[in-house]
């Protein structure tokens, strides 16, 4: 396995297991109510902001096929994998953790609820890591485009 593959696998496993470890506390009953945010337990049957919840049981299979398809694409486009190994590992680990939740718990385990000034969607560590991965891809793409000129 090449360096990029090791980074993707290592980072992906770290994100996956960290997310599952955090979720374990909420599944075992941990809760906290705060003035600005609360730590609660909820199961998201959809994707972001519960969109596509109407797909019910099909959603987890659709997501699995999409993540698998992206993985296959990256196997045939190793230059992308080399350039973006870290963010791909972050996103893959987080996505697979949320898909795992769907198979085991019937929905994604979410727990962080921001409610100061306005109520925001309940989310989890994996959701944040997907955002971090996307920002890293955008930043690296922007930096690469600056080098061309």
Annotation says 110 is catalytic: yes
Query: For the segment 135-147, what is each residue's pLDDT rounded down to a tens digit?
Result: 999 999 998 877 6
CA distances from 42 to 7, 26, 45, 147 (A): 32, 9, 10, 45
* Active-site residue identified among 19, 101, 127, 131: 127
Nearest to 125 by CA among 32, 34, 5, 14: 14
Cut 0.85: pTM above it: yes
Query: For the segment 48-76, what is each residue's pLDDT rounded down to a tens digit?
Result: 766 677 788 888 999 999 999 999 999 99
Report whether pLDDT(102) > 60.
yes
Return d(Cα 121, Cα 115) in angstroms, integer. 9
* Active-site residue identified among 19, 101, 110, 131: 110
Annotation says 19 is catalytic: no
């Amino acid at each position: 396995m090449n360096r990029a593959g090791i980074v993707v696998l290592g980072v992906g496993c770290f994100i996956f297991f960290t997310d599952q470890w955090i979720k374990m506390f909420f599944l075992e009953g941990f809760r906290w109510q705060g003035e600005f945010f609360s730590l609660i337990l909820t199961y998201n049957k959809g994707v972001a902001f519960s969109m596509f919840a109407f797909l019910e049981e099909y959603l987890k299979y659709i997501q699995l096929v999409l993540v698998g398809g992206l993985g296959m694409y990256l196997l045939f486009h190793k230059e992308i994998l080399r350039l973006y190994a870290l963010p791909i590992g972050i996103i893959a680990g987080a996505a697979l953790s949320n898909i795992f939740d769907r198979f085991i718990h019937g929905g994604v385990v979410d727990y962080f609820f921001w409610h100061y000034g306005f109520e925001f969607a309940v989310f989890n560590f994996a959701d944040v890591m997907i955002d971090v991965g996307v920002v890293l891809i955008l930043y690296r793409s922007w930096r690469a485009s600056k080098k061309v000129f």
